[in-house]
Amino acid sequence: MRRDPLADALIRTAPLLLLGMLWQAASSAGLINTAFLPSPATISVALADLLGGGEIGRNIFITLFRAGTGLLLGAVCGIWLGLMMARSLKFRAWVTPIVGGTYSLPKSALIPLFALWFGIGSLTAICAVYLACLLPMTVNTFQGVVSTPKVLTWSAQALGTSERQMLSRIYLRHALPDIFTGLRIALGFSFVLAISSEMIASTSGIGKLVFFYGENGAYDYMFAAIACVIAVAFLCDRAMLAVSGWCLRWHESAANARTA
């Protein structure tokens, strides 16, 4: 049965609309201290002011550049590392302690160290995003490759498939669902680390904007900037789902990706 896209959109946005109405009602009734938590109406006015001045657009672009660059570098290196770990026991023995030791480390704790090494600016943010995205990509690629059914590899080898062809046609193809899962996780990390880095070690970006308004008590503008981050991150996540659904249209996970 084909679902109505408009009905799906209404169902998805209904909880947010209800939350916004309750928030506005509580603010109007004086149940919330609007000095520290402005009402949705006040935030909307601040948002319109920021959008009209172009300040949000400039800083969002900077944040997207940092997050996207770190995500791309982390994805490429993570896929390569995961593939090498899955195909070489010796390589896995060397790399596994490093991956295991740094996986649970809060990457934001390294931002001051990166700032000391690379200075204030984009390079520090990109390095923090890169490290945060590298590990989930490595782990998910590794799991996807090692879970390749033996019967599939034996059949390919029996048909004369070379080792190089096995990597691209069998192992990576089978690992694609796990790789896209890692990409979606890494996408969330990229925004978190980019914004955290901008708050600590940057003079531009949406994170610095949020920190500046919060530090100066302009909480309506601070929440407006946060709302822009949420909207952009949501759109990026939807775009990621669309790309993964198209690339995995042959796989059973494609139907689940469209409804996630």
pTM of the model: 0.84
Sole residue written with tokens 């390079």: 123
Higher pLDDT, 221 or 259: 221
Residue 259 CB neighbour total at 10 angstroms = 9
60 and 206 Cβ atoms separated by less than 8 Å: yes
Question: What DSSP designation does 135 have?
Answer: H
Sole residue written with tokens 């000095």: 35
Give the tens place of pLDDT for each residue, 146-180: 887 777 777 777 777 667 777 777 777 888 888 99
Give the tens place of pLDDT for each residue, 20-70: 788 888 888 888 777 788 888 888 888 888 888 777 888 899 999 999 999
Give the tens place of pLDDT for each residue, 235-247: 998 888 888 888 8
User: How many angstroms separate the CA atoms of 121 and 65, rounded?
Assistant: 12
Residue 73 has what pLDDT?
Answer: 95
Sole residue written with tokens 């023995």: 93
Listing DSSP states for 168-223 in one string gives IIIIHHHHHHHHHHHHHHHHHHHHHHHHHHHHHH-SSSHHHHHHHHHHTT-HHHHH
